[in-house]
Amino acid sequence: MGEIKPLRLALTKGRLEKQCRRLLSESGYNCSALDNPGRRLIHALPHLSKQLSPLEGILAKAPDVITYIEHGVCDIGVAGKDTIIEQGGSFYEMLDLKLGVCRFALATPGGQDFFGGMDTKCVATKYPNVARRFLGSNPARIIKIEGSVELAPLLGLADAIIDIVETGDTLRANGLVPIQDIHTISARVIVNVAAWKLRRNEIESFLDEVKKAVG
Ligand code: PRP
């Protein structure tokens, strides 16, 4: 009998990485290859019971996780709901891992009013699509910033930010106050559309193991 073809899994680097690895280990996958990855980019993650298809894990930035899933070069991905909402795309969102829970919020210096007054306001954000959707018909300008969005109002570039708030420490440290919550965010499992048709049983087994670990 031939070897079972691994399912290829794309994990998001950074914030979610450690928690996802823990969850995979609790689901019975041997994640030791991820402990000291060196310069290798694809890692074998066998299931301890050998009953389930092994995984081939890659670590990527969240937008790339979605790109790999959409193009079908990875079967299963883990990405934050923030990136999923911002980037969109064709894939199935199968499971809320309840990891990396945070929220999108609108925040202003000292909690100043954002919606009052006649002047056109400016919002800085890493998530322009989320901001545009949230603002609706409000004519506010949106400026895309790649990191440390909190700087924009401090520098006088923007009246407000739309960003991820987890502990709220970054906002507090910079005199910003959330004035409206926009969306709750957490890590989600996404699946390539064709893979779901062709390898559904294997993917379902993977999801079942992970669901048990999520509790
Ligand atoms: C995120 C987010 C906030 C901060 C919120 O940034 O953009 O800056 O975390 O977390 P807190 O509420 O716990 O303080 P990240 O650390 O991902 O880095 P970046 O700003 O460089 O993108």
Q: What is the pLDDT of residues 181-214, one digit of tens each?
A: 999 999 999 999 999 999 999 999 999 999 999 9
**What is the C-alpha separation between 74 and 139, in angstroms, rounded?**
39
| pLDDT at residue 68, rounded to an integer | 98
Lookup: tokens for 174: 């910079």
Residue whose Cα lies nearest atom 5 of ligand 1: it is 165
Atom of ligand 1 nearest to the CA of 15: 17
Distance from the CA of 166 to the center of ligand 1, in angstroms?
8
Distance from the CA of 171 to the center of ligand 1, in angstroms?
9
**What is the C-alpha separation between 150 and 127, in angstroms, rounded?**
13
CA-based nearest residue to 127, from 167, 79, 162: 162
| Pocket perturbation via mutation, ligand 1, pick of 164, 165, 177, 185 by most ligand atoms within 8 A of CB | 164
**What is the C-alpha separation between 49 and 33, in angstroms, rounded?**
17
Evaluate whether 10 touches 77 at the Cβ level (below 8 Å). Answer: yes
Segment among 36-45, 116-125, 177-186 with least mean pLDDT: 36-45
